[in-house]
Chains A and B, each alone.
Chain A
Amino acid sequence: MIFFDNVSYQYTERQESLKEINLTVNDGEVVLVCGPSGCGKSTLVRCVNGLIPHFYQGILTGQVTVGGKDVSTTTLRKISRHVGTVFQNPRSQFFNVDTTSELAFGCENFGIAPEEIEQRINTVVNKHDMGHLMDRSIFKLSGGEKQKIACASIAVEPVDIIVLDEPSANLDYKGICELQKMIASWKEEGKTILIAEHRISYLFPYITRALLMNDGRIVKEYTSKEISSMPEDKLHELGLRAEKMTDPSDIKISVCDHTGQEKLILSDMKYSYKGEKPIFDIPRLEIPSGEIIGIVGANGAGKSTFLRCLCGMERTCKATLTVGSERWNNKMRRRNIYMVMQDVNHQLFTDSVLEEVMISQDEENKEEALEILEALDLREYADKHPLALSGGQKQRVAVASAIASGRSIILFDEPTSGLDYEHMLQVSRLLKQLQEKGKTVIIVTHDIELLRNACTVTIKFDNEMYRTDARM
């Protein structure tokens, strides 16, 4: 049982807070905590797993009780015996390098007998059919596989409460299906589950109720039925993502005619990891220029790698892109195509937003840089450090420097992973702005809503490799 008695919390270093939370979660319940980003849902979850007050700095008032114990007076180690946590970012939640040890890690920390851990691992692995993931290096797994290991390692632990903090943020369709199965089996075992999430439709079959949060408060409570029958626009109004689960390979694409339109022609692109069979092999692909092109496809089809190859970052991949009368090799593509990476942190280098835009210009021109910032709503942040901004703002800074670089083709790798509805719309407006400027925008995404909202052309990537472009 989880019990919040008039709990308020304020981080020392951050804006978000919790205000006067009263909540009781009974054993065996599956509760969804939803709301737009910054509403406090992650903060609420951190009160349950003890990271608040034991890890993050801030001021907590009121009392949180988990399984009869007061969280603030129980050590994190003792809480963790009862509460297991799955985090948002699969790359940073592993302590071990190999998957099998990671599964055992929690139990080992509690000093559970090896024979018992062995048995638990066998049960979980067979139940979820993940033998092929065992004894592997976590650095060689895909995002979805990592998240599955993260879930399984919690399943191995003898905990009775499981909290998930935006577990689907970095997952594609297949990954979410796996996550669903995991949650279903926990529910069956009678565990109490608390999920913070804004992409919610995949959870409808399992939840017993949903709490809507806004600005640190629980503003509304819905039964499972109420929320799952809510129309799309109502969910959007609440800042939630409404997309129904759609298998990208089921996306219907009708061929349409781009004759007469100028095209970029990609030819002879082949890529394989050392000594393995090629992950894609594209003899010829026509990309209509000046459009917003969405690339969708099944998991593991190498979409991100495709983008890296397209902008000339992968040295071993040789390909040519014909633009008008020019033929671009790797080096030319690197100079003429701009890529906004999934983790924008990697591509922001300077100490102010303005500077960041200016180093991209061929010749530094402050006026023009400020204009670009103005157009992207970043004018007021010109002097701020790019790393101090929110995720969405960082992305806009990257786009601003893309515009400043004057390059005509801009690539995006999963620009909306983990974003709520409002922020997704923002991105989609941004993409349209770029199109208006005459840029060709190419996006790799598993976000169906973004695809519907922004993309004018869709290219489907599957194991057969690329094919078909069309309007959705």
Chain B
Amino acid sequence: MEYRLNRDVHSFLDPRTKLLLLFTSSVFVVGNAGEKWMFVFYWILVYLPVLLLFIEKEWKAGLISIAIYVGSYFAQTALQNDLTAIESVLALMLYIITKILPTVILARYIVKTTKVSEFLAAMNRMHVTDKLTIPISVIFRFFPTVAEESRAINNAMRMRGIEMGAKKSTEAVEYRMVPLIASCSIIGEELSAAAMTRGLDVGKRRSCIWKIRFGIFDWIIITLCVTCFIWWGIGRFFI
């Protein structure tokens, strides 16, 4: 079967749109700007990331998130008045989780669906300097590596019977951290060497095989985000 490269990015949204959405969500969901005035937008921004999960066919993650939302909503209404200290603590925990969860889902969605190459190109079009975009793309690339390495170290510790809390806890931290950093620094060195022999450099024009452009869904999301800010502005300055 002959292979033909499809240069249309399979992802649903443009990287720039994703970042705008993340920004908006940080301001209004986590930052809680506008509060009650932003009620409707708040809930749209909370549930939108779940919709994105469904579009990416991550049914399980999506359903779990909805279950958490609904569960904590009812728990919070149940924990309404005259709480004891412990109930308050519980309520606060639920509150923090529901605040942070939407952005976490969104951030994960972005990392998962954005190609490094596509991200570099999109940022380049917005004239963001390489000095930020190269480290960010390395972060994308490196999260799974850090996870892989720490899993291997963890396994080795379990096998040797040096587990967290087993002996001295300071040692448990040291034993975990030292091989991780050593290993990551070696991988990093090799990664830099490889990237540089392939022509990666700062401030040079790159091309990008992926076709990045705004589609209809991008415009919808952008409109949503812009409306959020306008509506907030109206509430803030005119009412």
A residues near B, CB below 8 A? 49-51, 54-55, 75-77, 79-81, 83-85, 87, 89, 91-98, 100-101, 104-114, 117-118, 121-122, 125-126, 130-131, 134-135, 139, 153, 157, 308, 311-313, 334-335, 337-339, 341, 343, 345-350, 359-360, 387, 401, 405
Contacts and interface: CB of A to CB of B under 8 A. Distances in A.
B226 to A, nearest CB: 30
Contact of B208 (A50, A108, A341): A108
Contact of A77 (B3, B183, B204, B210): B204
Contact of B209 (A118, A348, A359, A401): A118
Contact of B199 (A92, A109, A139, A335): A109
B112 to A, nearest CB: 9
Nearest to A335: B161
Contacts of B208: 108, 114
Contacts of A337: 159
Contacts of B196: 51, 54-55, 76-77, 80
B3 A345 contact: no
Given A85-B194, A95-B194, A118 B200 contact: no
B195 interface: yes
Q: Which of B152, B153, B192, B207 has the most CB of A within 10 A?
A: B207
Nearest to A140: B144
Contact of A114 (B116, B137, B197, B209): B209
B87 interface: no
Given A84-B197, A92-B194, A105-B198, A346 B141 contact: no
Interface of B: 1-5, 7, 10, 115-118, 137-138, 140-141, 144-145, 148-149, 152-153, 155-162, 174-175, 178-179, 182-183, 186-187, 190-201, 204-211
Given A77-B199, A108-B207, A131 B159 contact: no
Given A96-B141, A110-B199, A101 B116 contact: yes
A51 B189 CA distance: 12
Contact of A87 (B175, B193, B207): B193
For the residues of A in contact with B, the DSSP-based class is mixed
A350 B4 CA distance: 51
Contact of B157 (A80, A85, A106, A349): A349
B211 to A, nearest CB: 8
Contacts of A130: 3
B115 A96 contact: yes
A126 B197 contact: no
* For the complex of A and B, 8 pairs with smallest distance between CB atoms: A131-B3, A109-B199, A347-B156, A93-B194, A92-B190, A349-B175, A101-B117, A106-B198
A134 B141 CA distance: 18
A66 to B, nearest CB: 12
A422 B63 CA distance: 57
Given A100-B209, A135-B10, A347-B159, 6 more contacts: A87-B194, A95-B191, A139-B148, A313-B158, A334-B158, A359-B162
B144 A97 contact: yes
B1 A131 contact: yes
A75 B209 CA distance: 25
A164 B107 CA distance: 38
A95 B204 contact: no
9 contacts: A55-B193, A55-B196, A80-B196, A87-B193, A104-B117, A107-B209, A111-B204, A334-B158, A345-B179
A178 B33 CA distance: 57
B117 A313 contact: no
Contacts of A105: 117, 198, 200
Contacts of B156: 341, 346-347
A75 B197 CA distance: 10
B198 A387 contact: no
A109 B5 contact: no
A134 B5 CA distance: 9
| Centre residue among B153, B186, B196, B208 by max chain A CB count within 10 A | B196
Contacts of A91: 145, 187
Contacts of A113: 207
A118 B190 CA distance: 27
B115 A101 contact: yes
By CB atoms of chain B within 10 A, which of A95, A101, A157, A338 has the most?
A: A95
Given A101-B116, A125-B3, A157-B198, A108 B206 contact: yes
Contacts of A92: 186-187, 190-191, 194
Contacts of B7: 114, 118
B117 A50 contact: no
B134 to A, nearest CB: 9
B153 A346 contact: yes
Contacts of A347: 153, 156, 159-160, 179
